[in-house]
Structure 1
Amino acid sequence: MVGNPIPSDLASECRKCSKIINQFIKPDKGMGPDQMIPPNIIGNAKGIAIMSVLKAGFLFSARAGSGLVVARLDDGSWSAPSAIGTGGIGAGGQIGAELTDFVFILNTKDAVKAFSHGGNLTFGGNVSVAVGPLGRNAEASGSVGNLAAIFSYSKTRGLFAGVSLEGTVLLERKDANAAFYHRKISAKELLTGVVPPPPVAEELYRALNRRV
């Protein structure tokens, strides 16, 4: 698990999200290639969203999280990142707190557009979401042929968790984007390549371009 789920600025988000994506694509002593996101899934992605969500509860439950989204441009490079966030309160819930890291593979241009419109994006509402395949067996079997608009991957305490965000609303963090890029700027501008990729996101781009 990585850091504060809601960093105060987009530069910190870039650092946090580069560490998160590495947990999903870089084999370590605990997990081999068969427990990673298959390289072709990221290689064929039209975009990727990464975020961490903190859920806490006692007499009620609360959820808050943040992250970023990048899109693949026509030349194959990655766009400048756009900040995203989520939050909500519900009745009941477990006692204590739990942090979950998420990676969302955007398989279609429509999925990327859903993050570009500047409004609310509801998982399972605006776009279809399915738990993504894992490992070399999934890649070799061709099980990735029928794509959902978005593949979802989640880890809690370092383990793949299969946590669903069905019905969760994601918001564009316009304040974080404006503070980082020093002007009012839309997610559409960022995800279509109007703004050049910032140097602080280089570590993130290296992780996304890595092949397991």
Structure 2
Amino acid sequence: MGDRMDVAALDGSGSFSVYRALPSGPPKAAIIVIQEIFGVNAGIRQKADDWAALGYLALAPDMFWRFAPGYDVNPDVPEEMADAFEIRTKFNFNKGIEDVEAVIRAARALMTGGKVGIVGFCMGGGIAYLAATRTDVDASVGFYGAAIPLYLAEAHAIAKPLLLHFAEEDGFISQEARGKIHAALDGNHHVAIEEYAGVDHGFADTAGKRRSDTAALIAEGRTRDFFAGYLA
């Protein structure tokens, strides 16, 4: 079980809430967990708690604080899913990555140094990719980031390890879109791309109807190994 902390926005427009999960001892590194369009809900908080149990300082910022602070819905409830799709149209990726930069700085201050990784899901997967292109984060992991094709012109800026997970049956990221991602990133030795057959978007949810245990456990294991290697 974690607590909350506030982080000041870099543009001076206010501060936002961050769910914080602390390890039992000194953190080996920090991992920033970036939400889906459903807010810092129970699933995202559990992911942060799980990283803390592995010895990391885990931080999950409220990415919707500028227009829907405290947003928290369940994707298994159709009405809440529909509301989330409406809410996310207000999200600005450029402002979002600024907020992530603020959390990166806060994480390093909390540890008085140390490496920082980012893992993001859905919308957060796009943010994780942008963190690799626009920040000095030490390692990034993105799960099914549908926005990534919009920012492939920035791929040349990736200079730290990036791991991307995609579902082969993703209803939001077509095979054509994944092909463009491969074309832009396969030549970069910092980038690894994994695809999972027979599963759809959201397969690595913490729980619920969208989760596919077989694929999720493989992807989660790869993510743990990735961070263990690059944040040590």
Q: Same fold (TM over 0.5)?
A: no
Q: Give the structure, 1 or 2, with the largest relative contact order (CA under 8 Å, sep 6 or more).
A: 1
> TM-score, normalising length from structure 2?
0.25
> TM-score, normalising length from structure 1?
0.27
**Which one has a larger percent helix, Structure 1 or Structure 2?**
2
**Which one has a larger percent strand, Structure 1 or Structure 2?**
1
